[in-house]
Amino acid sequence: MLPFPIDAVPPLNGVRVLDAARVLAGPFCGQLLADLGADVIKLERPGAGDDTRGWGPPYVPGFNDLSAYFLSCNRGKRSLTLDIGSPDGSDIFHRLLAKCDVLIENFRTDSAEKLGLAPDALLARHPKLIACSISGFGRTGPMRDSPGYDFAIQALSGLMNITGPPDGPPYKVGVALADILTGLYASNAILAALHARSRTGHGYAIDLALTDCALAAQVNVAQAYLTSGKVPQRQGNAHLQIVPYQLFATLDGWLVLNVGNDGQWRAFCTAAGATELGTDARFATNRQRVEFRAELVPKVEALMKQLPTAEWETRLADANVPHAVVRTYADTFADAQTLARGMKVTVRDPAGNPVDLIGNPVHLHGAPGAEPTMPPRLGEQTASVLGELLGLDAEEVGALKAKGVV
C-alpha cells in the first residue's frame, strides 16, 4: 500500500475550459490543461477550423484536417464550431462561457474590443471567469494591435541575436519556442488564478504577450546584458558563462560536453588522459576557463577528436562527467528512457487505426493524468457539447448549422 491516498480523478477534473485560441500558444496551453483532466472545448470557425489543421504534410492518412502540427497541441479536446461574429453565435458563446471556468483566446486587441470581449467587458458579464488573453504584444503599449508571429517574436525579443554561430547570421530556434513558452506561462497563470478564485470567489483577466515571454525566458543571457551593459555575443553551440560546455567533434561524430563545475573539469581531464590540463592553474576555476576560453577550447577540441564517440561515452560515464550524444527523433523515440517515461503514446484515429502522439511530461503521484485521446475532427462534438451544456436538441443544432452559425 502506498503511504498516501490516490485520487480517483485527475487534478483538474470538473474544470471546464473554452479554448477559443488558434495556431500554437493558446492551443498548447489548452492541451496542458486537458492533460491534467480539464474538459477543454476547442472553439473553431465553421468550415475552416484552426489554421494548423491544414499545415501539412504530414497528415494522419485519410484525414486532411488532422495534420501533425494540429495533433501536437490539441489532444484531449472536444471540437465545437461556432461563428461568434454572428448575433446567434455571440449569444451561444456567452451562454457557453457561463458554463465554463476558463477562457483562452488570442484575438487581436481591436478585434476583441469590437466583439465586446475585452477583459473588462468579459468579467463584467462573467464575474467568475478566468479570461486568459494571448497576443503577440499584449493589451497595452504602442504595438498592442500588431499581429505577432513566432519567427518575428524571436527576432524582436533578442532571442535570434544570441542564437547561431558566432560569425554567422542570427538563427531562430528549431521550433516555435516563443509560442510554446507563452503556452507554459499561460497554463501556470491560469492555475494560479483558479487557486485564487477558490479563495476570493471572483474571476481574473490574464494578459500574456509572446514578446514578454520570449524575453523573460532568456534568463541568464538577458540578465548578463542588464548586469554588464554589454550585448552578449552569439556562442553557437557553446555556453556564455560556462567552459567547456558545448558541442565537440569526436573521431567519428558529435558529442555535447557539459562540464558544470571544477571537479567535473578535473574528472574530464583525467578521463581524457590529460591530467596536466586539469592541473594547469590558468584553467583551475570556471571563471578562469571563461576568461581563457580562446586558449582552452582548442585544446579540448584536439582531445575530443582523438577518440570515437562510443569510447568517449564509456570514459565520461565512468568519470561521472555529464555528456550527451546528439540524437535524431528516430533515436529519441526509440530510446528506452523515452518509452519508460511514456513520452510516446498511441491513440486511435476515427477509422480505428493507431496514431502515435507526443506524451504528457507531467507525472503526478497521488492523482492520475487524463487518458490521452485523439485530437478531434473539425466540429466533431458540436452537437454533443451544445446538447450537454445548453440543452439544444438535434433540430435546434440543425437550424443553427443551416444558418452557418455552427
pLDDT, residue 1, reads 52
Residue 136 CA, distance from chain mean position: 16
- Where is 16: in which H helix or E strand? strand 16-19
Q: Where in the chain is the domain with CATH 3.30.1540.10?
A: 245-326
Q: Read off φ and ψ for residue 271, nearest 5 degrees.
A: -65, -30
| CATH superfamily for domain 245-326 | formyl-coa transferase, domain 3 (3.30.1540.10)
Strands (E), 23-153: 39-44, 77-81, 102-105, 130-135
Pull the grid cell for residue 81. 464550431
Whole-number Å distance between alpha carbons of 224 and 339: 38
End-to-end CA distance of the chain: 50
Please choose, from the candidates 116, 83, 96, the residue with its C-alpha nearest in 3D space to the C-alpha of residue 400.
83
Q: What is the pTM of this model?
A: 0.91
Topology of the domain comprising 16-217+339-402: Rossmann fold (3.40.50)
Please choose, from the candidates 268, 79, 52, the residue with its C-alpha nearest in 3D space to the C-alpha of residue 176.
52
**DSSP letters along 134-161, please?**
EESS-SSSTTTTS---HHHHHHHTTTGG
Q: Give the dihedral sign, CA 264/270/272/274.
A: positive
Please identify which of the residues 179, 207, 212, 318 carries the catalytic annotation: 179
Whole-number Å distance between alpha carbons of 273 and 278: 10
Whole-number Å distance between alpha carbons of 369 and 380: 23
Q: Read off φ and ψ for residue 82, nearest 5 degrees.
A: -160, 130
| Residues forming beta bridges with residue 325, ordered by sequence position | 255
Whole-number Å distance between alpha carbons of 31 and 191: 14
Pull the grid cell for residue 291. 576568461
Spell out the alpha helix ranges (H) of 250-344. Answer: 262-271, 275-278, 286-291, 293-304, 309-318, 329-334, 336-340
Pull the grid cell for residue 360. 504528457
| Residues forming beta bridges with residue 103, ordered by sequence position | 18, 131
Q: Give the dihedral sign, CA 214/220/223/224.
A: negative
179 flagged as catalytic: yes
* Averaged pLDDT, groups of 10, the chain, 406 residues long: 79 97 97 98 96 95 95 97 95 97 92 86 96 94 90 95 92 95 98 98 97 96 95 90 96 96 96 95 96 96 97 97 94 95 94 95 91 95 97 96 95
Whole-number Å distance between alpha carbons of 310 and 251: 10
Q: Where in the chain is the domain with CATH 3.40.50.10540?
A: 16-217+339-402
123: exposed, middle or buried (Cβ count in 10 Å: 0-12, 13-18, 19+) = middle
